[in-house]
Amino acid sequence: MSGDAATARACANIALVKYWGKRDAARNLPAAGSLSLTLDALTTVTTVRFDPALPADRMRLGGEVAAPEVLARTRAFLDRVRALAGITTPASVESHNHFPTASGLASSASGFAALALAASRAAGLDLDDAALSRLAREGSGSAARSIHGGFVRMDAGVRDDGLDAYAHPVAAPALAARVRMIVAEVGGGAPKTHGSRDAMEHCARTSPLYDGWLAVVPRDLAAAEAAIAAGDLEALGELTEGSALAMHAAAIASRPTVLYWQPATLAALAQVRALRAAGRAAWATMDAGPHVKVLSDERDADAVARAMAGTEGVTAVTIARAGGPAELLPRTAP
């Protein structure tokens, strides 16, 4: 097989009700559901071509030859695509993250969502959204959500084969239009010290708070969806901040600890509390990294961004709107 190249773009997403832990690591099945917001400002563009002239899969990330561990993870994912398509052809992959990679800004979510769409199309597959979300999930649990735009719910499912573990959009056009996420980078976007996969496994195995973390997720999911349906950003913001702090509490309690926070992280969290006390719409969330993301609205986003940019140790600030679903691009797209 030597098909045309396919190029796809996907946006990263930030979980508002967090995903942390797996019930089946081999199939990347989450231990609990999650709910996220897709962000337009954090994108990955990936081109895939299956070419029988290649001796083996090859990959470039950000214009550089991918590290061996990145290529190995990508090759394993391409094997899943090849199995679905009934082919054995090697592939070339060219991927660009238009924001820092592997630093806690969800580059794996946008990366594997873009790879899932580009690779499946280049292999001659035309998967529906559920199948595409399941495929992306096998590369990265959070990537299942980046197949969709706006607010997205990920179902953990109960089946061993994972057929019921995929993401679907949560309709909220009015709230999605006015919501903003201010991304405050800490430490210049340097790679994080603990990879998410290993950290999740370690936390589940050693943290005395992990079971409590899992127990609260279903309640938070129901409350978050109710807040979205009501257009209640304040209620959603309170749940968002609580979910993030609960996840990090479980991680910090791991033995030895999984601690992503830096001094600037604490300063940024304090800034968010001060903004909220001053009447601004501002609620913090964090993923597996030191960066602080602030859920806000169109009215307060600029003021929140200025305050975060003035926080000691914050090295970059981006205002993001709700992003769209993963999409195919013309072959000439950068």
Report the candidate in 240, 258, 246 with the shortest Cα–Cα distance to residue 36. Answer: 240
Report the candidate in 11, 322, 14 with the shortest Cα–Cα distance to residue 173. Answer: 322
Report the candidate in 216, 237, 236, 252 with the shortest Cα–Cα distance to residue 284. Answer: 237
Distances (CA, A) of 75 to 61, 78, 257: 14, 5, 31
Task: Write down the domain spans for the chain.
Answer: 6-173, 178-320
pLDDT of residue 196: 84
Encoded tokens for 299: 């009215």
Mean pLDDT (whole number) for 183-196: 79
Whether the predicted pLDDT of 193 surpasses 90 = no
Question: What is the pLDDT confidence band of residue 149, given thresholds at 50, 70 and 90?
Answer: very high
CA distance 182 to 163: 34
What is the CA angle 284-290-295, rounded to 5? 20
Whether the predicted pLDDT of 334 surpasses 50 = no
pLDDT of residue 23: 95
CA distance 106 to 324: 16
SS3 100: coil
For 260, half-sphere exposure in the C-beta direction (CA atoms, 13 angstrom radius) is 31
Which residue bears the tokens 């029988």? Answer: 52
Burial class of residue 122, CB neighbours in 10 A (0-12, 13-18, 19+): buried
CA distance 44 to 146: 11
Class of domain 6-173: alpha beta
* H, E, C per residue of 240-256: HHHHHHHHHHHHHCCCC
Summarised one tens digit per residue, pLDDT across range 241-290 is: 999 999 999 999 999 999 999 999 999 999 999 999 999 999 999 999 89
pLDDT of residue 128: 98
Asked whether the beta carbons of 262 and 103 are under 8 A apart, the reply is no
CA distance 170 to 149: 9
Name the percent of the chain lying above pLDDT 90: 90
Report the candidate in 58, 125, 52, 132 with the shortest Cα–Cα distance to residue 94. Answer: 58
Name the percent of the chain lying above pLDDT 70: 95
Mean pLDDT of the chain: 94
Mean pLDDT (whole number) for 181-196: 81
SS3 333: coil
Report the candidate in 158, 141, 160 with the shortest Cα–Cα distance to residue 28. Answer: 141
More confident residue, 331 or 231: 231
pLDDT of residue 190: 64
Encoded tokens for 313: 């140790």
Confirm or reject CATH 3.40.50.1980 for domain 178-320, answering yes or no: no
